[in-house]
Every structure is written in structure tokens, then in C-alpha cells.
Amino acid sequence: MAQTEKAYWSSRTAFILASIGSAIGLGNVWRFPYICYKYGGGAFIIAYLVSLFLAGIPLLILEFALGQRIGGSAPVAFAKLSKKFAWIGWLAILVGFFITTYYAVIMSWAANYLVYSFKLSWGSDPKSFFFDKVLGLTDSIANFGSIQTHLVIGLIIMWVWIVLSIWKGAKTVSKVVYFTVTIPWLILITLVTGGLTLPNAFEGIKYYLTPKWSMLLKPQIWQAAFTQVFFSLSVGFGVMIAYASFLPPKSDLVNNAMIIALSDAATAYVGGFAVFSVLGYYAGLQGVEVAKVMKSGPELAFITYPEIINHLPLAPLVGVLFFLMLLTLAIDSAFSLVEGFVAGVMETFGTRRGRTNIFVAAVAFLIGIIYTTGAGLYWLDLVDHYMTFFGLFAVGFLEALVVGWFTDTEKIREMINAHSIVKIGKWWNVAVKFLVPIASIVLLLSSVIGIIIKPYGGYPRWAELVGGWLLLAIAVILAIILGKQTVKALKVKSSEG
Ligand code: PFF
């Protein structure tokens, strides 16, 4: 295998910031507040924290151990456990790769909105502005309409930004994350402070946090909590494995995992204040209930928020801050996914970093063009559903299964503890052997059964086959082929060494 230019983090802080940057994203300022409200406000926070400690943190520690103690990007770390398992690492990063193809497109929307904010270009009807002008949305998933040039331009800029951010791997990322983590945090605090001073803001907060304790007895709240914890911590896509592989040998993994997980949870909690304070204000303005103005997903950021911005003092400034926050929140999640993939490619094929970055970005950009067409939103929604759920639960399940049942779990726990100030007890073995795999398989089966009973989002079955099952089948087949390649590369390396 040719020598690869492996870079290390410039400091422990850089690693922590990079991992926090990957973990905090749209999941914290959109998904968490919305899901939290839906599943009982304060009660959900309890379910969230329980899931975080029972399954999220153990899985994060497991990924750190794979990357740092076993050593390598996801494919290499799994191949080192056993050559039978290299494909699992590839599956994780391939799913991550497919996610980046559309993640960058959402960033392109946000970049366009950043420009629109200066003149509040969405006018008095942000809904038709978003669907008709920005997306050029057609009437069905089969009708591609036309490619939206402004989205393609935004997409090119996003890819250049991503490639530059990871240009020399951990070395460049170490510098970039000081900005991409602190800027969205500063903006978030500004928006929360501003939001809380608006009339009726408190109504929104009450709505967000009032606990419905009886919800804790329902299985759905637990399902939602585990899903949110996994998604938010960025586990299951090989990102945290790759990031940990750039750590020096004697790193403390347990402490790092705790800091990262708790910062992520805190950001989500604060994110809720930013969202619900303005929703409370807007509901008061319209004389309707908060429930009526609350939306999830693209609607919240690209329709509801612009609509609210129209009614705020300092409207253009708030718009600029809001979309800048979305962009800086998203960029480090996006480049972490790319870095996880690039690291796997480089360690398997011995390719040079610069070329690998550009190659991966070019392929992802070309695939991303599909999402800039008039049917883009439909495909994005469909592929996202399959990839996120499959990636999170299937890979989480396989990781825990391999480490819990096919390797010496106790030895891995000792390896983790060797350089960690806070030691993990035997509870970690129980979490890895039972809690994480059981939670993941239950979530995986329930989402697969759900999809079989009722197609996701009411899309036609053929679209589901192409955007869901076919893509997953491609990922699995590629993972098996590439896994063999990783094993070969490791053999060559060990015979050379
Ligand atoms: N954790 C991110 C969020 O909460 O928005 C989403 C994400 C980013 C998931 C990167 C996975 C990943 F590898």
C-alpha cells in the first residue's frame, strides 16, 4: 500500500470541537425542539437523557475505541477486528456518503436564503417562494422539471467550501472548527436572547417544555428518544471512528465522549428556546395557538421562519444571522461525513489526499444535481428517510453485535480504560452486548415494517424501490467488494512492515 498522508489533531480541544461540530447540526435546532414538544416536552428530556446514558454514550465510546484503540477509519478498524467485518465499516461510510450528496443541497438552499435575507426577497408569500421560485417543485416525484441553476451554483460553492475545510485532513479541520463551532453558538445565543425578549415568547417556551409525564409510559417516546440520540451524536456513519483515529495513542476516550455528548444535548436544549420563543411571538401576533404555527423539517426553516422574520424588528439582520447559523451548523456535519469516507478510501487504496478529496467531492456533486431538479425535494425526502434510519440502526446494531459478541468485549473495555481518567465499569459491556443491539434492532425492524405497511411519505412503490431499496442494495454490494480490498491492503501493509 502506498504511504498515505495521515494527519493528527493539533490538540485535544481541536478533536473535541470537531466532534461537537459533527454532532451539533440541524438535528439540534430543528429536530430536537419539534420531537421534544411532540413527545411530552419535559418528559421527553428525561427519556432523552436516559437513552443518552444507556445507549448513546456507550456507542460513542465504542466508536472512539474502534477508531483510536483498534486504529483506523471505519473499514480498517473493522478489518482489524476480523477480515470478515471490513464490509460493515464500508457500509457505514457509504451510507454517510449518500447522505452528503443531499446534505450539501440543503446547505445550498440555506446559502441562497442567506442572500435573499438581505432584501427579504421571499416577500409576503414565503411558501410559494420556496416551492415555486427556489425549488421549482413539480407535481410528482416522476416529473423532474428543470435543474435550478441557483441551486447548482450554491452546490458548487458548498462543495468547494467542504473540500477546503478538509484539505489536509485533521490538520485543516483542527483550524476550521474553531470558527464553525463557535460562530453558530454565538448566533444561537444572540437569537435566544433576542427571542426571549419578544412579547409572548414565554407562551412558546411553556409549550415546548411543559412535561406530560404520562407519555413516559408509551413506547413511542422511547423510540423517538433513541432515534434522536443516535442521530444527534453522529454515530453509525463511521464519522466518529475516523475522527478518533486521528487522536494520539494515549488519549482519554471516556472523558472526551462525555464532554461531546453533553455539549450536544445542551445545544439541543438551548436550540428549543430559539425556536419556541419566536413561535410564541408569532402565534400571539396571529392570534392563533402555538401548535398552529409549528412545523417541522424544511417548512420550519425555509417557510415559517422567513414568514416570522418579516414581522421582526431588524428583519434582514435576523434573517442573515439565522441562515448563517444554519450554514455554519451544517458545514462541519457535512465535512465530517466526507472526511469519514475519504479516510476509508485513502487507507484502502493508498491514494493521495488532495486527489481523493476532489474525486469524492466531484462524484457527490454530480449525484447531488438530482436534488436540484424540480423533483429534488421528493427524492431528498425519500433517500433521507432510508439512509438515515438504515445507517443509524443497522450500523449501530452491527457495530454492537461485532464488539459485544464476536470480539473480547472485556479486553476492549480494558483498552478504553487504559488511558482514561474516568473508568467505565462492566455496565459498558452490558450496554454493548444487550442495550445497544436490542434498541437498534427494535428500531430497525419497526421502521422496516412501517415502510412495508405504508410507503414512506406516500411516494409510489417504484420510487421507493429506486431511492430506497436499490440504493441500499448498491451500498451493501459495494461494501462487500470494497471490504475485500481493505483486507488486501492491510495484508500488503503488514507484510511490508
Ligand atoms: N448530528 C447531526 C445533527 O444532529 O444534525 C447530523 C449528522 C451529521 C448525523 C453527521 C451523522 C453525521 F455523520
For ligand 1, the distance from its centroid to the CA atom of residue 336, given in whole angstroms, is: 9
Would you list the DSSP string of 160-201? Answer: HHHHHHTTTTHHHHHHHHHHHHHHHHHHHHHHHHHHHTSTTH
Of 63, 2, 35, 97, nearest to 471 by C-alpha is 97
How many CB atoms are closer than 10 A to CB 385?
18
Cα 474 to Cα 444: distance, rounded to the nearest angstrom: 19
Single-letter code of the amino acid located at 429? N
Handedness of CA 292, 294, 296, 299 (dihedral sign): positive
Q: Is the pLDDT of residue 215 over 90?
A: yes
Of 112, 130, 111, 114, nearest to 122 by C-alpha is 130
pTM value is 0.95
In this structure, are residues 229 and 48 in contact, taking their beta carbons and an 8 Å threshold?
Answer: yes
Residues belonging to the chain: 497
Single-letter code of the amino acid located at 335? F
Q: Which pLDDT tens digit goes with each residue over 273-288? A: 999 999 999 999 999 9
Cα 340 to Cα 337: distance, rounded to the nearest angstrom: 5
What pLDDT does residue 292 have?
A: 85
Of 434, 339, 283, nearest to 100 by C-alpha is 339
Q: Nearest C-alpha to atom 12 of ligand 1 is from which residue?
A: 234
What pLDDT does residue 1 have?
A: 45
Q: Is the pLDDT of residue 299 over 90?
A: no
Atom of ligand 1 nearest to the CA of 340: 13
Q: Which pLDDT tens digit goes with each residue over 397-420? A: 999 999 999 999 999 999 999 999
Q: Cell numbers at residue 285, please?
A: 401576533
In this structure, are residues 48 and 207 in contact, taking their beta carbons and an 8 Å threshold?
Answer: no
For ligand 1, the distance from its centroid to the CA atom of residue 235, given in whole angstroms, is: 8
**% of residues, the chain, pLDDT over 70:** 99
Q: Cell numbers at residue 475, please?
A: 451500498
Q: Nearest C-alpha to atom 7 of ligand 1 is from which residue?
A: 234
Q: Which pLDDT tens digit goes with each residue over 167-186? A: 999 999 999 999 999 999 99
Atom of ligand 1 nearest to the CA of 233: 1
Domain ranges of the chain: 12-492
For ligand 1, the distance from its centroid to the CA atom of residue 392, given in whole angstroms, is: 10
Residues 374-402, mean pLDDT to the nearest whole number: 92
Helices 471-496 and 86-119: angle between axes, nearest 10 degrees: 120
Q: Cell numbers at residue 221, please?
A: 417516546
What pLDDT does residue 102 have?
A: 97
Q: Which pLDDT tens digit goes with each residue over 436-454? A: 999 999 989 988 888 888 8
Residues 467-486, mean pLDDT to the nearest whole number: 96
Indicate the SS3 state at residue 205.
Answer: helix
Q: Is the pLDDT of residue 391 over 90?
A: no
| Residue-averaged pLDDT of the chain | 94
For ligand 1, the distance from its centroid to the CA atom of residue 286, given in whole angstroms, is: 34
Q: Which pLDDT tens digit goes with each residue over 94-141? A: 999 999 999 999 999 999 999 999 999 999 999 999 999 999 999 999
What pLDDT does residue 4 have?
A: 55
Q: Cell numbers at residue 231, please?
A: 442521530
Mutate to test the pocket of ligand 1, among 19, 22, 103, 341 (most ligand atoms within 8 A of CB): 22
**% of residues, the chain, pLDDT over 90:** 87
Cα Dmax for the chain: 73
The CATH number that domain 12-492 falls under is 1.10.4160
Q: Nearest C-alpha to atom 13 of ligand 1 is from which residue?
A: 234
Cα 361 to Cα 341: distance, rounded to the nearest angstrom: 11
Cα 395 to Cα 88: distance, rounded to the nearest angstrom: 7
Mutate to test the pocket of ligand 1, among 19, 234, 237 (most ligand atoms within 8 A of CB): 234
For ligand 1, the distance from its centroid to the CA atom of residue 22, given in whole angstroms, is: 6
What pLDDT does residue 2 have?
A: 45
* Exposed e or buried b per residue across 268-290, where buried means at least 16 C-beta atoms within 10 angstroms of its C-beta: bbbbbbbbbbbbbbbbbeeeeeb
Cα 107 to Cα 104: distance, rounded to the nearest angstrom: 5
For ligand 1, the distance from its centroid to the CA atom of residue 452, given in whole angstroms, is: 26
Name the E strands within 295-357. Answer: none
Cα 304 to Cα 34: distance, rounded to the nearest angstrom: 13
Atom of ligand 1 nearest to the CA of 240: 13
Q: Which pLDDT tens digit goes with each residue over 89-98? A: 999 999 999 9
What pLDDT does residue 437 have?
A: 96
Confidence of residue 497 (pLDDT cuts 50, 70, 90): low
Q: Cell numbers at residue 199, please?
A: 412579547
Residues 312-319, mean pLDDT to the nearest whole number: 94
For ligand 1, the distance from its centroid to the CA atom of residue 203, given in whole angstroms, is: 30
> How buried is 229 (Cβ within 10 angstroms: 0-12 exposed, 13-18 middle, 19+ buried)?
buried
Q: Cell numbers at residue 216, please?
A: 413516559
In this structure, are residues 444 and 393 in contact, taking their beta carbons and an 8 Å threshold?
Answer: yes
Residues 145-174, mean pLDDT to the nearest whole number: 98
